[in-house]
A and B are shown apart, each in its own frame.
Chain A
Amino acid sequence: MVALIEVTGLTKQFGSFIAVDKVSFRLNKGEVLGFLGPNGAGKTTTMRMLAGFVTPTAGSAAIAGHDVAAEPVAARRALGFLPEGAPTYPEMTVVGFLRFTARIRGYRGAALTSRVAAALALTELEGVRLQPVETLSKGFKRRVGLAQALLHDPPCLVLDEPTDGLDPNQKHEVRTLIRRLAPEKAIIISTHILEEVDAVCTRAIIIAAGRVVADATPAVLAARDPSGRLEEVFRAITRPAPLAKAA
């Protein structure tokens, strides 16, 4: 089976600081990967490299068989990407913004209208479709970013903290959406919310100081600690070394 997302020895160095250190993994259709790690562990940089925004120092990444460095445009066509903080153009209306991204993705006429309508429906944004993005709450803004990532029904999704800033109901809806999309796609989500991993992920990777320190199903990971709680495992693995010794 050809992996939809394939990352091999991906490394990013900023000066002497190694942000991402030889990260490798493969993701097949139907898998939802939870990307976990403390702040500054290299999650966002890895995702940016996958989306072709940051150029890797070494290693390679491929989306649906297209190398992100050699065939960047083809790779990005197969990818829906929600950048950290879900940036959008503040002065544009929700529908104007989605129509813009749909045009860049090659849709015209009726196909464009139906794609935008479908994305609005998926993320429940119909009620604010004509509002400028700058007038929306944080949760709505994130959903606009999500709508943009889902608009072209891509085989691969990379979502950087998709539920950050959402209220519990909205979080639940986004998780339900991810679960619903999961069978047909390869999805990576980064999150700080460990319950989210239990709720939607079929696999979890924990990254600390740029390195992959754990890669397993959430259940197997949780079983590493006698308490059976993912949070304890996360803390034990990612805590700075002296503290870990003291414990």
Chain B
Amino acid sequence: MRNILVIARRELGGYFATPVAAVFIVIFLVLQGMLTFNAGDFFGRGQADLVPFFDFLPWVFLLLVPAIAMRLWAEERRLGTIELLLTLPLTETEAVIGKFLAAWAFCIIALALTFPFVVTVNILGSPDNGVIAAGYLGGVLVAGAFLAVGSATSAMTKNQVVAFVLGVAICFVFAVSGYPVVTDFLNRNLPVLSLIARGFSVIERFHAISQGLFSLSDLVFFVSFIGFWLFVNVVAVDHRKAS
């Protein structure tokens, strides 16, 4: 556990020691703000809630979270520091979890910086802050899910661009799997898979959570999803570390 925190601390420091942190946070806030205000018609709706904000959040994450994750392992391999890291007295699982937690903490920091939206709706009306809190919790879970995928793809290659594209592609599959275009197609051809696809839809679960409908099964899903991809990550690190 101690080693996990030491790794996480170093990794989080790494984000802020390079322009990565500033660039990511600025782009995230600008993109999220523009989509919420313009495309989401934040003021025009005349409602004191963050529905347009949370509608766009997973799609912004889909693009930006794999960008945060892509350096986690690919950069270690490129610099050769993976040889140093994995010959220190710690297990690969500790290193994988530590790096994941650092990236997750970074996403949570970025998400926390959207607090002016919460302040705004509270000044303009009386929103249900419980629902907003649920939305943020859902956002944290979606970020974790996409990060786990991105971290695993980062461990599969030395090339950060490949890690990014692969990460976005896999996250996209889990994002749209609950959409009618996918489920209708599956319903017609493979009805069994239709239900499974909906079950694996990260965005569908996020929408339920962001409406305040937080169930234990959603929590179990996200925890298992993250756990599975971190396991893939450990296997990928172990298999490809010296290649």
Contacts and interface: CB of A to CB of B under 8 A. Distances in A.
B89 A87 contact: no
Nearest to A92: B17
B18 interface: yes
B82 to A, nearest CB: 8
A96 B11 CA distance: 12
Given A73-B91, A100-B6, A89 B241 contact: no
Interface residues of B, number: 22
Given A100-B10, A104-B3, A88 B84 contact: yes
A140 to B, nearest CB: 16
B87 interface: yes
A104 B90 contact: yes
Contacts of B86: 52-53
A53 B241 contact: yes
Interface in B181-217: none
B83 A53 contact: yes
Interface in B208-243: 241-242
B58 to A, nearest CB: 31
A72 B83 CA distance: 14
Contacts, number: 69
A105 B18 CA distance: 26
A73 B88 CA distance: 8
B88 A83 contact: no
Contacts of A101: 88
Contacts of B2: 103, 106
Contact of A53 (B3, B10, B18, B242): B242
Interface in A42-84: 48, 51-54, 72-74, 76-77, 79, 81, 83-84
B88 A105 contact: yes
B81 interface: yes
A128 to B, nearest CB: 17
Contact of B89 (A73, A84, A96, A132): A73
B84 A87 contact: yes
Given A89-B14, A91-B18, A77 B80 contact: no
24 contacts: A48-B83, A53-B86, A53-B241, A72-B91, A73-B91, A74-B89, A76-B87, A76-B88, A77-B89, A83-B84, A83-B87, A84-B80, A87-B80, A87-B81, A87-B83, A87-B84, A92-B14, A96-B13, A100-B6, A103-B2, A104-B89, A105-B89, A106-B89, A145-B84
Interface of B: 2-3, 6-7, 10, 13-14, 17-18, 79-81, 83-84, 86-91, 241-242
Q: Which 5 A-B pairs have the closest CB atoms?
A: A87-B80, A91-B17, A83-B83, A51-B87, A76-B89
